[in-house]
Amino acid sequence: MCFLDGPSLTCPSPRLVRAPWHPTTERTTVAAPTAPTRWITVGVDTHKDRHVAAAVDQSGRVLASTQAPTTVNGCKQLLAWAQGHGRVDRFGIEGTGAYGAGLARFLRAAGQQVVEVDRPNRQTRRRQGKSDPVDAEAAARAALAGTASGSPKARDGAVEAIRALRVARRSALKARTQAANQLDALVISALEPLRGQLRALPTAARVARVAALRCGQAPTDAIAATKLAMRELARRYQTLTAEITRLEAALGRLTSTTAPRLVAIFGAGPDVAGALLTAAGDNPGRLRNERAFARLCGAAPLEASSGRTRRHRLNRGGDRQANNALWRIVLVRMHYDPRTKAYLARRTAQGPSKREIIRCLKRYVAREVYRAILADLHHPASTDELDAQ
């Protein structure tokens, strides 16, 4: 029954009657609605002794921040802390090739998605200042927004072994060059007749002669002290030369076994192949295509268009050692490869400078190198295939 009261219609609520309970009647329990799972993104600012992490939700709100030691237990604590705030979508880590290498390796082994964050947002740093939690938050936001989406290098295979050997070889080369320069400076400023005996000799002959000098262990005059200093530098040069020889032999064997197709490319040898492999990493599949590899090597021009102007400029970024390796391949082909010689002559007649032609050639070589690296690391060549090549 309803009653009309002015402009509104009022109806009395019906009387609720509870049905009698019977022993055979089943009671149905309605479960309370569960809260949806919260997805989070974690950013990590890595350091030598501790990592600082920040977690943000799907809306970009900061949930919490923490820090953990860089030990295995610290990595476990960091993962447990992240999972305690929700379901982890991904980790954005700075420095996956340095301080963050161990953490990135641990998280990938635990089944987590890891993206590499190149650098903090400089505009955010200018507005908010510099601190570890701020950098961790910036890394999380970069991973959440997708501006940082690259997969880090695996660093757990043959390419990592090649990289380690190249580091030792490069430092030995620099030390040997320094020793040779110091020896040359001592020869130039030495007293006569020592200066006259050594000045005209080439480096190898000078090192051999100086290393055999006889001098006391406690020199008392300038000539004896100079002889002792030069002898020590010459012996250091010989020691470093032997070390470089051993490292180059190990690099040659490892590179030829790991990437035979890459080493077989015209103009590429073990050293050049090692630089290109180090740039690609043990997991070159993380690179989307050959254009991404060319940009990684700094061989892909960058667009610099504005309005009606359409142009490209030189890419000065990327891995400079890989860029130098591409340049060395191009240089060899320009002198000895008939096809490259013909291309050089044709393009020179069209007007571009030699430097511009080299840049074009590096882009073509990058495509060839990328395909060879994928074939070597994903589909190793058999002995019959290598003999056929």
pLDDT digits (tens, 9 = 90+) for 61-120: 999 999 999 999 999 999 999 999 999 999 999 989 899 999 999 999 999 999 999 876
Domain-embedded: residue 66: yes
Domain-embedded: residue 150: no
Q: What is the pLDDT of residue 389?
A: 45
* Average pLDDT taken over every residue of the chain: 86
Residues 133 and 225 in one domain: no
Residues 192 and 251 in one domain: yes
Q: Give the structural domain span for 133.
A: 39-145
| pLDDT category of residue 6 using cuts at 50, 70 and 90 | very low
Full 3-state SS string of 262-323: HHCCCCCCHHHHHHHHHHHCCCHHHCCCHHHHHHHCCCCCEECCECCECCEECCCCCCHHHH
Residues 110 and 185 in one domain: no
Residues 135 and 115 in one domain: yes
Residues 369 and 286 in one domain: yes
Chosen domain end from 211, 243, 258: 258
Q: Can you tell me the mean pLDDT for 236-265?
A: 96
* Total number of domains in the chain: 3
Residue 60 sits in a domain whose CATH number is 3.30.420.40
Domain-embedded: residue 204: yes
Task: Yes or no: say if 103 and 97 are a contact pair by the CB < 8 Å rule.
Answer: no
- C-alpha to C-alpha distance for 355 and 334, rounded to whole angstroms: 12
Q: What is the pLDDT of residue 382?
A: 47
Residues 100 and 194 in one domain: no
Rounded to two decimals, the pTM is 0.79
Domain-embedded: residue 206: yes
Domain-embedded: residue 59: yes
Residues 303 and 336 in one domain: yes
* Nearest Cα residue to 203 out of 230, 184, 186: 184
Domain-embedded: residue 7: no
Q: Can you tell me the mean pLDDT for 114-127?
A: 77
Task: Yes or no: say if 235 and 250 are a contact pair by the CB < 8 Å rule.
Answer: no
Chosen domain end from 231, 258, 285: 258
Domain-embedded: residue 27: no
Helix (H) or strand (E) holding 114: strand 114-117
Q: What are phi and psi of 199, to 5 degrees?
A: -65, -40
Residues 134 and 166 in one domain: no
